[in-house]
């Protein structure tokens, strides 16, 4: 049985506008971000979504609340869908942080986690998903680490290839999760 996973990033935040890598800080949507969240809602409200899983960081929760306002679709917050924890570098300039991203593929950021640890965390979410949502279509709202977790676990993309690639934002990514998912080995 396959579970359809639709992934959308959280909407544009005030930190995005300022060029800040928010990491595990909550963040808030900008005016533009609130408009984009409403657009996400228009795209997904009639898309057969059974549930929305969102990172528990404020910018992702706010995206989901705006997008699905007034619907009966359950909104479930899960900390495992958070961005990579940049530790002491949460809130630092994004350009500086992302230039050195590959250094932290396996080595944790000071006081934080590595990208591989963040992707494993998303993998544990995927392991639990079929327990209640097998065969359904769900929406996941998260961050770069969330998408990398989906790309790696479901599509088999190597983290070494993801860490240096441009994020290349778009209106949603779709995945087919064969239940149960593959082993959480990386």
Tell me the catalytic residues. Answer: 10, 83
Signed CA dihedral, 97, 103, 105, 106: sign only: negative
State the Cα torsion 129-132-138-142 to the nearest 10°: -40
Signed CA dihedral, 138, 143, 149, 150: sign only: positive
Q: Which tokens is 36 given?
A: 């984009």
CB 2 within 8 A of CB 179: yes
State the Cα torsion 109-54-7-137 to the nearest 10°: 140
| Cα–Cα distance measured from residue 145 to residue 57, given in angstroms and rounded to the nearest whole number | 13
Q: Which tokens is 105 given?
A: 């593929």
């Amino acid at each position: 049985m396959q579970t359809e996973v639709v992934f959308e990033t959280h909407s544009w935040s005030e930190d995005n506008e300022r060029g800040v890598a928010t990491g595990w800080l909550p963040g808030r949507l900008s005016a533009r971000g609130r408009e984009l969240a409403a657009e996400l809602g228009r795209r997904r409200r009639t898309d057969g979504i059974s549930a929305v899983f969102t990172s528990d960081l404020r910018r992702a929760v706010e995206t989901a609340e705006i997008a699905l306002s007034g619907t009966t679709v359950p909104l479930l917050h899960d900390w495992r869908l958070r961005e990579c924890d940049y530790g002491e570098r949460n809130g630092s300039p994004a350009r500086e942080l992302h230039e050195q991203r590959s250094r932290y593929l396996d080595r944790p950021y000071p006081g934080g986690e590595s990208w591989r640890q963040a992707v494993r965390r998303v993998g544990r979410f995927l392991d639990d998903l079929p327990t209640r949502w097998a065969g359904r279509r769900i929406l996941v709202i998260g961050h770069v680490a969330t998408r990398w977790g989906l790309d790696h676990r479901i599509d088999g993309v190597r983290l070494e290839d993801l860490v240096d690639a441009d994020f290349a934002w778009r209106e949603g990514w779709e995945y087919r999760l064969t239940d149960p998912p593959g082993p959480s080995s990386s």
